[in-house]
Chain A
Amino acid sequence: MNFTLRVWRQKNGNDSGKFVTYQIQNISADTSFLEMLDILNEELIAKGEEPVAFDHDCREGICGSCSLYINGRPHGPKQLVTTCQTYMRSFGEGETITIEPWRAKPFKVLKDLIVDRSALDRIIQAGGYISVNSGSAPEANSIAIPKPIAEASMDAAACIGCGACVAACKNASAMLFVAAKVSHLGLLPQGQPEAKERVVSMIAQMDAEGFGSCTNTYACEAECPKGISVTNIARLNREFISANLFS
């Protein structure tokens, strides 16, 4: 297959950046999107041009490293997959593919398609944990957790922290990310003692980082590669309101 690529190139955080167009030929339909970029990079190196920088690691859709806003959508055209699991057969022959970095105020571009997502870590630092020291845990089966609760918690815990929700949201809101963690921990009895403090601190940090607020377009849910539901955002809202107004 052949494609025209419009790739965002930016030398570093201070550079203003621009789109550069590349032609790429003879790509097998079974090539993954990132492998297609590998091939482009090999061609660029052969020509003495600097390869395109992009974040990636596990290439099996679980580490959350890969990003890329492809033809107007985070993680490309297919739902429920990350960029690394997107294959070129999802694109049309001869198609022009526009590749941009995640855009949000807290996600500063470091180079080309690489952005700084450390704001998400800082939100977790604000309260996305259960305070238990190594060695002080009780016997695991001392608390029974109803299966549906454990399953709902796991559904939320599946978040890979890639930031596609932020990238997709027209307000660059990180609500789905925060909500996934609030739900994951808040649903479990172990997470209950800190539930109120957790939601308040995490929201405060999210606001301080400069993420936008949620206007319920649900673009995040539609683009989340792990299918995290916006019902988690409702749970977050509920817990936040109750923590602020009723306690």
Chain B
Amino acid sequence: MSWFLKFVTSSVGRKFVTGLTGLFLVSFLIVHLTGNFSLFRADNGEAFNVYSHFMGHNPLIRVMEIGLVLGFGIHIFTAIYLQLENKKSRPIGYDKVDASANSSLFSRTMFLSGSVILFFLMVHLTNFFVPHRVTGKDVVDGTAVVNATKLDGSALLASDGQPIKDMYISVATAFKNPIYVAIYLLGLILLAFHLNHGFQSAFQTFGLNNKKYFPLIRFIGLILSIALPAGFASMPIYFYFILG
């Protein structure tokens, strides 16, 4: 295993791990967004609640969840490590730097955008994950988590007969709060920044930069960096401004 450690601790290896976990997280975002679109069904949140119950209880998903936590953890760890190491490489800085002349803002602010996203992630987990999976108490208004109902008012039950918790109401409550909406929108804008550079950067780090298809990768990165955050942003906007 020494070869593996040598590789992942080298400057290129660290970047490789950061890029790999980053792409993995992008794939998670795509799945997450797709599922979340069920929020827009006019069914009093039934489809969304069934989906979130499935995500919370399916054993396979629970196993994958560990992978996700690891993915986040490694991505964050290597990013911090990289940042610290890179800071050491220039102990005395310049007095005057004209960085915009040679590089994009997005590429230079990955650590900052990542940090804001991390903060956002904490808020996000506190909003939904913690109440539903740990405390059973809503964070926004302090009320207890309730069971979900169908449109006709009957209880929404899982296939094993268990009642399904009402995640939808938690979402709706949170997104009626302007502070939360603002935090979400800010987090998502920075996610856009982060993805804009991060996606194509990962391919460069894997060595998959080629004059023929790299423009396509950049284009996909651009689309993802707009579409994913826009998709997520549509939810607080929908709840705050449209259902408001």
Contacts and interface: CB of A to CB of B under 8 A. Distances in A.
A touching B, CB within 8 angstroms: yes
Interface of A: 6, 8, 19, 69, 71-73, 77, 98, 100, 103-105, 168, 170-173, 203-204, 206-207, 210-219, 222-223, 230-231, 233-241, 244-245
A167 to B, nearest CB: 9
A71 B96 contact: yes
Contact residues of B: prevailing secondary structure: helix
Contacts of A237: 12, 15-16, 204-207
Interface stretch (B86-94, B155-163, B178-186): B86-94
Nearest to A244: B7
Most interface-central of A8, A72, A168, A203 (chain B CB within 10 A)? A72
Contacts of B101: 72-73, 77, 222
Nearest to B8: A244
Chain B interface size band reads 35 or more
A114 to B, nearest CB: 15
B102 A223 contact: yes
B3 to A, nearest CB: 7
B95 to A, nearest CB: 6
Contacts of B104: 217
Contact of B206 (A72, A206, A230, A238): A238
A123 to B, nearest CB: 13
Nearest to A220: B102
B86 A206 contact: no
B102 A168 contact: yes
Given A214-B15, A215-B15, A241-B16, A71 B3 contact: no
13 contacts: A71-B98, A104-B90, A171-B90, A172-B86, A203-B12, A212-B90, A230-B204, A231-B211, A234-B207, A235-B207, A237-B207, A244-B7, A244-B13
